[in-house]
Every structure is written in C-alpha cells, then in structure tokens.
C-alpha cells in the first residue's frame, strides 16, 4: 500500500477515517438513536434490536462507501490472538441480482465455528456452536490491505451455554465489578454525580524488526518466534548506541506507514523510538478505556507484522527472540477514572479529593500485596520466562514503586504521625488540611519495578510483548474491586466518616506496605530482602499458574461474577497446555535444526579441515592448526549429537505424561534444560565454523542489518 502524503492528506483528516467512532455515529445516526447508543455504552440501557437495525444500516452504508465487501465479527479467543470469519454483504434477489444488506440481528450476533478454539474442557470438541456478541464499548473499524476492505465489529465470544470462550467477556465483567465497588466507595465519600467507573490503559509495545530474507532462513524464528540457536557477535547493546538513536531511513519508512494504518483505524499511536537492543523499537498509544485499548493493542501487533512485510522485514513480538540482548515487554499503564472525568489516582488540592486519592491508592497497594501471585500469573507465559528476572526487565517478585515523597506520606499515616512531609512541612490530617502540593510526577521512574506509580497511574511492566493485555487488566480490575468492596463495607457503616477513612488507610497500608520497594529491583540484595519480607518470588510459568487452581482465587472471581468455577479451571488447563505445547514445538525445532542442519554442516566442515591438515602435514611434515580445529569441532559435534539424543528422550517422556500440570512441569524441569545443553554445543560450533559454512544467518545479520 502507498504511504500517505501528509501535505495532501492532513493527519487530522486521516485520523479515524476507517473507524466507526462515536463522532461518525453522531453524524450518521438520528439523535435519539445516538443517545440510545451512548446509554448502552454507559451501561444504563440494554441494546434493543430496533436500535441495532438503525446502527447496522448506517454502519453498512459507511463501510460500503469506503469499498468494503465483507464484514466480520472480530473476537479474542483463548489463543491470545484474534479471530475473524468474513461474510459478504450480498443478498441474492430472485431476478439474479444482489442487494447489499446488513441487519441489526447480524450486527448483534454471529455464530462462528467454535470447535477448534481452546476451551479447557468447557465443551466437547465436536460441539461446534459458539456465539459472538457486539461489544458496543469498542468501535467498529475497517481493515484494508491489497485484497480489499473488511468491516470489523469487535465482539465477545461465548459458548452455546453462555460460558466465556474468550478474553473480552471476563474483561467486560471485571470492569463492571470494579465500577460497582468503586462507586460504592465514591458514594460513601459524598460523590453523587459519578455514575460509572472505568479502568483505562495505555500499553507501550516493544518489538524487533529483522530483514525478511534473514528471517525466512531461520526455521526457529518462523516456527517459534525466537532463536533456539545463535551466538552473540562481538558487539551487542553494551555501547547503548541504539537507545533513542536516530531512526534509520528504512525503519522510519516502516514507522510512517505503521502510524498511517493505525491512525486510520482511530488508534492514537503517539510515541515511537529505538529501544535498547539493536533493531528493537517501541510504539506507545494515548490512554483510552480498557476494552478499546485491548482491541487496539491487538491491532497494533497485527499491523506491525503486516506493515513490516510490505517493507521487506519481519516484526518479532516474542519476549526474547535473541539471547544476550534485551527482550521485549509491554508496559501496561493502568488507571481508574469516572465517567465524569475524575482520575482516582490523581492527588487533589482539597481534603476531599486527597482522601479519595489516598483510599484508592491504598486499595491498590493492598490488592497487589494480597493478590501478588495472581498478578504474577497474569504475565506468566513460556516466552516471558526468558525475560523476567534478567537485568532488562522487572524481577519475578511483585512490588510497588512509590518514590520518596509518597512513601513518606503513607508511612507517616501508617505510623499514626501527623503526616508532615519533609519537603514542604505541610501537615496531612484527613478532613482538616490538604496533602502537600505534589507535582504530577511525584518521583523519578523506577524501570526495575514491576508495578510503579507514575503520577496518576500504575505502570505494570511485567506484561510480555506478545501477550493480550486483556488478562492482566482483568486480574487487576478484580483484585482492586475486592479490596474496594471491603473498604466500602466499612465506610457505609461508619458513624464518623473522617475517622473511618483515616483508619482504613492507616490499617491497610500498615499491613501491606511490605510490597512497596523503591530500590533497585535487579539487585541480589532485593531478592534477599523480598524473602525476608515474605514476598513470593515465582520464577517460572508453571508454578505461577498454579494459583489459578486455588479455591480462594476461584471464589474471588466467582464472587465478582467474572469467572465461574468451570471457566476458571478451563483457563488454568488452557494456559498450562499452551505452555507445554510451546516448549514441545521449541524442542522439536531444536532437534530438527541440530540434526538436519548443524550436525551435517559441521561434520562436513571438520572433515574438510582434517583433509587440509593431512595435505599440509604431508607436504611440510608438521601438524597444521586445521587439525586442532577439526578435532575441536568433531568433539563438539559428537557432544551435540549426544545431547540431541538426550533431548529427544526427555521430550518423548514429557509427551507421554497425561496430567497437564505434571506434563508442563516436566517440560520446564527436564525439556528446557536439555534444550539449553544442545544450544550450548550448537552456539560453540557456530563460533568455530567458517561464516559461509554456517547454515543460518547469525545474530550479526539479524540484529545489525536493516
């Protein structure tokens, strides 16, 4: 596709041109229908078929005018990706012609085949029926490529019996749960105007770009998203010369088209830059409501890959595509706001707003401490295991960064002091005086913290770059909802509101401030300190996911009507199975590359060196360096062969385990170490073989040539 000339098509005109936004609906719908849709979006009314018919007609006309021939209910199955089934607008007539139709019923509900999507036992695989239902909180959009234009309608995906088969339904329910409990707290504080509370998100997306020619020559990148073999070149990222550096022309062209495609769909991509590792980049959007942000982030990932291919590159979203350089994360900037524009994590300028700020912030501290294992599980994937805990990403220990001023304020409250903040000398006494005049950014950022307060939001840095952000935000919403419900219970019974507020903040923070840590999360000292504090350090996905099977977690989600027991157990099974399948594929690729590519190549190369050494010895009657090199390669090749055989044995053993937790555990404890042993030999052989003899493009090409 051609790149838009912004001198001829201004960004303001381009932006949202492929998005059926509220602004477009306001123009195309009758006023009364538009008001009905706003009420449905706000949760005040249920959608009626009559309203849907009018919206569908307007949506159809808008899409047809832009060249669309098909529509799809676009949804988020438990693969972590998105899915779509395309239907054309055509409706044949009796005289051999067609009409272009799209009804309200077709807008509201679809029926894709659900048989092959993971369900974790919620339904038998032969039961194919599943339903998609229009999500009015996220706008419809057009996807355009060289094959045409398709109207995409964001939807939820449920089974015939109403069970959630996707990531959107639980997310929507978690927002309802959070809103219900947050409104209870606000009412107790005297707020009678806010009607609903939403979580908002701004996910920063990291990714790598590699030349398509090199990518196509790497079976591991194609099949697993990461390199299972690869030795570092002499230079990595140690010069820090890529971070925020000048963007290469080829990459700048890609970014320009990426922005164009995202802007047309109404995705407010705002910031882009070179990241730390070579050929690593980041794109960040403007904040929006969580459901729209989840949809937008899936589109960002999809568009990165499609636009990269049009520029002769491949976009890599894996958390750790290259050993030895930084991996990629997705900083999930999470906040809570009311429908009338109040950010509940914004410090205010009067006692009432500061009481609100302190209550909601204390609730998050308690939620993160009490549900640390759940929050850790939200970022648990086979790919993220390679990244978490390294000196590039947050540790596997959940902690909160506050910075000095805010920590001091909360510590003073917890210890029953007046709350004097040393920078200002202002006394904090809820209901009497104000907090110190805190700037928006109350502290420096701490990039080593997995959960950092950054002014009016919390930055959850643990989420992996390839993950859907739906699950982390669902878990955060529910954890916060539970603590807020307990705060609301106390506030609603209070005879003295100010004293109760003070007591809640004091008691909650005193019990849970162990989770606040403002130091270097990468340090060994923090690991020891976290253990002393009793904070969990769950280092792998298999152990992290085990929390989903705990009765108290199942009860938590059931209480807030987000997951039933069956739905929760299904996800536990699905995520473990996905982990096992991923390692199984990686192990298979490792075996295949070692046996079919590396071993034959280095064996032939060593034999050639041996022949050269023998020829030189016959001529000069001395041993040649080639002889030593040939022997070293032959020895490593023999070790590679033996370690590959061991890997195959443990892989077969793991494949034959029936219990899914035991199987996933075996993949972690047995198969992954065996893969590492094969890789060590393969990477050592890469360093010894001539570059032209090695069967794959190396890290030098993948990381430094664009």
Please name which of 693, 591, 575, 585 lies closest in space to residue 647, comparing C-alpha atoms: 591
The C-alpha atoms of residue 693 and residue 309 are separated, in whole angstroms, by 28
* Domains: count for the chain: 3
CB 650 within 8 Å of CB 674: yes
CB 419 within 8 Å of CB 436: no
Query: Are 555 and 587 part of one and the same domain?
Result: no
| Beta bridge partner(s), residue 75 | 83
Q: What is the pTM of this model?
A: 0.93
Query: Are 268 and 129 part of one and the same domain?
Result: no
The C-alpha atoms of residue 338 and residue 358 are separated, in whole angstroms, by 16
Q: Which H or E run contains 332?
A: strand 330-338
The C-alpha atoms of residue 170 and residue 174 are separated, in whole angstroms, by 6
| Beta bridge partner(s), residue 99 | 91
Query: Are 595 and 492 part of one and the same domain?
Result: no
- The domain that contains 662 carries what CATH number? 1.20.120.1560
Q: How many Cα atoms occupy the beta-carbon half-sphere of 110 within 13 Å?
A: 24
Query: Are 127 and 226 part of one and the same domain?
Result: no
- For residue 396, being part of any structural domain is answered with yes
Q: Which of 166, 188, 204 is the last residue of a domain?
A: 166
Please name which of 567, 479, 500 lies closest in space to residue 121, comparing C-alpha atoms: 567
- For residue 5, being part of any structural domain is answered with no
Residue 519: how many other CB atoms lie within 10 Å: 14
Query: Are 557 and 611 part of one and the same domain?
Result: no
The C-alpha atoms of residue 515 and residue 535 are separated, in whole angstroms, by 7
The C-alpha atoms of residue 201 and residue 212 are separated, in whole angstroms, by 32
- For residue 644, being part of any structural domain is answered with yes
Q: Which H or E run contains 86?
A: strand 86-88
The domain in which residue 89 lies consists of 11-166
pLDDT at 476: 98
DSSP three-state, residue 353: helix
Q: Which of 104, 132, 166 is the last residue of a domain?
A: 166
- For residue 123, being part of any structural domain is answered with yes
Residues of the chain by 3-state class (helix, strand, coil), percent to 5: 50, 15, 35
Please name which of 536, 512, 246 lies closest in space to residue 364, comparing C-alpha atoms: 512
Query: Are 336 and 485 part of one and the same domain?
Result: yes
pLDDT at 1: 47
pLDDT at 521: 87
- For residue 623, being part of any structural domain is answered with yes
CB 593 within 8 Å of CB 220: yes
Query: Are 185 and 144 part of one and the same domain?
Result: no
- The domain that contains 325 carries what CATH number? 3.30.590.10
Which residues of the chain carry a pLDDT beneath 70? 1-7, 98, 114, 122-129, 390-392, 418-447, 615-624
DSSP three-state, residue 100: strand
Quick one: CA torsion of 518, 519, 523, 526, rounded to 10 degrees? -60
- The domain that contains 52 carries what CATH number? 3.10.20.70
- Report the Cα–Cα distance between both ends of the chain, in Å, rounded: 20
Q: Are strands 68-74 and 148-159 parallel, antiparallel or unpaired?
A: parallel
By residue count, the chain amounts to: 706
pLDDT at 205: 96
pLDDT at 98: 67
Query: Are 111 and 206 part of one and the same domain?
Result: no
pLDDT at 609: 84
- For residue 6, being part of any structural domain is answered with no
Query: Are 48 and 125 part of one and the same domain?
Result: yes
Q: Which of 503, 537, 563 is the last residue of a domain?
A: 563
pLDDT at 3: 61
Query: Are 494 and 642 part of one and the same domain?
Result: no
Decide: residue 625, CB within 10 A, 0-12 exposed, 13-18 middle, 19+ buried.
exposed
Query: Are 281 and 405 part of one and the same domain?
Result: yes
Please name which of 462, 443, 451, 448 lies closest in space to residue 369, comparing C-alpha atoms: 451
Decide: residue 241, CB within 10 A, 0-12 exposed, 13-18 middle, 19+ buried.
exposed
Query: Are 544 and 615 part of one and the same domain?
Result: no
> What values do phi and psi take at 124, rounded to 5?
-70, 150
- For residue 344, being part of any structural domain is answered with yes
The C-alpha atoms of residue 294 and residue 126 are separated, in whole angstroms, by 30
The C-alpha atoms of residue 560 and residue 181 are separated, in whole angstroms, by 10
- For residue 192, being part of any structural domain is answered with yes
Could you read off the pLDDT of 210-237 as tens digits, one per residue? Answer: 999 999 999 999 999 999 999 998 888 8
């Amino acid at each position: 596709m051609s790149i838009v000339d912004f001198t001829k098509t201004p960004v303001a005109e381009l932006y949202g041109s492929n998005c059926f936004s509220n602004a477009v609906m306001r123009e195309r719908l009758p006023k009364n229908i538009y008001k009905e849709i706003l009420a449905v979006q706000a949760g005040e009314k249920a959608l009626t078929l009559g309203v849907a018919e009018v919206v569908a007609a307007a949506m159809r006309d808008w899409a047809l005018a832009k060249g669309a021939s098909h529509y799809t209910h676009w949804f988020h199955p438990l693969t972590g990706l998105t899915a779509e089934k395309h239907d054309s607008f055509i409706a044949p007539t009796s005289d051999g012609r067609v009409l272009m139709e799209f009804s309200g019923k077709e807008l509201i509900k679809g029926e894709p085949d659900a048989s092959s999507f993971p369900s974790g036992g919620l339904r038998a695989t032969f039961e194919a029926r599943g339903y998609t239902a229009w999500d009015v909180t996220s706008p419809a959009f057009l996807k355009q490529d060289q094959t045409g234009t398709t109207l995409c309608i964001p939807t939820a995906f449920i089974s015939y019996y109403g069970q959630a088969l996707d990531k959107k339904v639980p997310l929507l329910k978690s927002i309802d749960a959070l809103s219900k409990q947050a409104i209870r707290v606000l009412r107790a504080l005297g707020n009678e105007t806010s009607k609903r509370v939403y979580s908002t998100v701004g996910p920063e997306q990291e990714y790598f770009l590699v030349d398509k020619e090199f990518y196509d020559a790497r079976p591991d990148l194609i099949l697993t998203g990461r390199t299972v073999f690869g030795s570092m070149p002499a230079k990595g990222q140690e010069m820090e010369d890529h971070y925020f550096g000048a963007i290469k022309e080829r990459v700048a062209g890609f970014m320009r088209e990426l922005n164009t495609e995202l802007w047309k769909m109404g995705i407010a991509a705002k910031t882009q830059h070179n990241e730390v590792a070579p050929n690593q980049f980041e794109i960040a959007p403007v904040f929006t409501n969580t459901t729209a942000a989840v949809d937008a982030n899936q589109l960002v990932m999809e568009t990165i890959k499609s636009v990269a291919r049009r520029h002769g590159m491949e976009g890599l979203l894996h958390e750790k595509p290259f050993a030895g350089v930084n991996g990629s994360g997705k900083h999930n900037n999470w906040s809570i706001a009311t429908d009338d524009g109040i950010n509940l994590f914004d410090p205010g300028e009067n006692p009432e707003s500061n009481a609100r700020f302190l209550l909601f912030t204390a609730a998050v501290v308690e939620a993160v401490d009490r549900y640390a294992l759940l929050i850790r599980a939200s970022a648990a994937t086979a790919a993220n295991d390679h990244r978490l805990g390294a000196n590039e990403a947050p540790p596997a220990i959940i902690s909160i960064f506050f910075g000095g001023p805010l920590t001091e304020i909360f510590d003073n409250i917890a210890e029953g002091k007046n709350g004097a903040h040393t920078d200002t000398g202002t006394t904090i006494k809820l209901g009497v005086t104000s907090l110190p005049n805190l700037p928006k950014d109350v502290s420096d950022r701490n990039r080593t913290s997995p959960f950092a307060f950054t002014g009016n939001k919390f930055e959850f840095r643990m989420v992996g770059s390839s993950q859907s952000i739906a699950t982390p935000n669902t878990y955060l919403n529910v954890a916060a909802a539970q603590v807020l419900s307990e705060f609301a219970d106390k506030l609603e019974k209070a005879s003295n509101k100010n004293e109760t507020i003070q007591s809640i903040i004091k008691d909650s923070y005193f019990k849970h401030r162990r989770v606040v840590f403002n130091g270097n999360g990468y340090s060994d000292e923090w690991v020891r300190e976290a253990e002393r504090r009793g904070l969990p350090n769950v280092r792998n996905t298999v152990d992290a996911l085990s929390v989903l099977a705990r009765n108290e977690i199942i009860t938590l989600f059931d209480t807030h009507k987000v997951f039933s027991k069956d739905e929760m157990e299904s996800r536990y099974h699905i995520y473990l199975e996905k982990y096992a399948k991923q390692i199984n594929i990686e192990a298979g690729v490792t075996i295949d590359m070692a046996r079919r590519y590396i071993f034959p190549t280095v064996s032939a190369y060593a034999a050639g060196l041996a022949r050269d050494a023998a020829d030189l010895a016959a001529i000069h009657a001395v041993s040649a360096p080639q002889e030593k090199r040939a022997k070293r390669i032959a020895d490593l090749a023999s070790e590679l062969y033996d370690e590959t055989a061991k890997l195959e044995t443990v892989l077969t053993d793991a494949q034959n385990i029936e219990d899914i937790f035991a199987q996933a555990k075996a993949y972690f404890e047995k198969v992954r170490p065996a893969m590492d042993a094969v890789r060590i030999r393969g990477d050592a052989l890469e360093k010894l073989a001539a570059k032209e003899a090695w069967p794959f493009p190396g890290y030098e090409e993948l990381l430094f040539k664009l």
